[in-house]
Amino acid sequence: MNTVLDIENISFGYTKDILLFDNFSLSLKAGEIKAIVGPSGVGKSTLFELILGHRKPLSGFIRSSSFSQVFQDPYSSFHPTYTVREQIKEVTSMEGYELLLEKMGLEEAFLDSLPHKLSGGQLQRCSILRALLMKPKLLLLDEPTSALDNLNQLDIMKLIVDNLEGMGVLLITHDGDLAAWCADEIVTLS
Ligand code: ADP
Ligand code: MG
């Protein structure tokens, strides 16, 4: 199977004396879901920053295929003055969006709204829609379901699990049950 993410022996810390990662390795193949769990402040979001290339490891290397990402707070992932549709169109062809829209319980009218007109749950589903439409090889989810209510959480993760062809998923979550249900492997940072 295709490796979509390869992290080898990385070390990283924001300051020299505190290393968040010390010889940390992880690899992910298409079709796999790995969950990253661990207490607040342990470095989960930093790991994504490193994968995204926003930060450089002090040693080791990271190779990643094309990715898209979903953050915890959907309002910070959309520009406030453009409609949701305009912002999705900017990064995707929108090919096949109608089916996903329906599966995600979203309405066309949501797409023509400004982000702040939608609830956190509605907008987070739009953010996941955008990420999936980009057809990434690697999907990075940082606490994506905390903006969703309990009912939506499982439905949305089911949808992602059902659309894994050619894609690997790295999921940061506090939700042990969710991780146990969907992940092939749980990586605990401590
Ligand atoms: P998590 O997502 O697991 O809660 P983070 O990766 O956000 O943890 O943060 C890990 C640690 O690094 C925390 O102690 C945090 O305060 C620190 N940290 C995060 N971002 C920065 C930054 N830009 N500069 C310095 N320290 C940071
Ligand atoms: Mg975090």
Number of structural domains (the chain) is 1
How many percent of the chain have pLDDT more than 70? 98
List the domain range (segments joined by +) for residue 128.
3-188
Residue nearest to atom 6 of ligand 1 (CA): 43
The CATH number of whichever domain residue 111 belongs to comes to 3.40.50.300
Largest CA distance in the chain: 51
Report whether residue 46 contacts ligand 1, using a CB cutoff of 6 Å.
Answer: yes
Kindly state the tokens that stand for 6: 């390869």
- pLDDT above 70: residue 151: no
Query: Residue 136 half-sphere exposure, CB side, CA atoms within 13 Å?
Result: 23
- pLDDT of 66-82, one tens digit each? 999 998 899 999 999 99
Kindly state the tokens that stand for 145: 């379901």
pTM of the full structure: 0.93
For residue 49, which ligand has an atom nearest its CA? Answer: 1
- Which whole-number Å values give the CA distances from 108 to 58, 89, 122, in the listed order? 46, 14, 12
Residue 45 to residue 47: CA distance in whole angstroms: 5
Residue nearest to atom 27 of ligand 1 (CA): 14
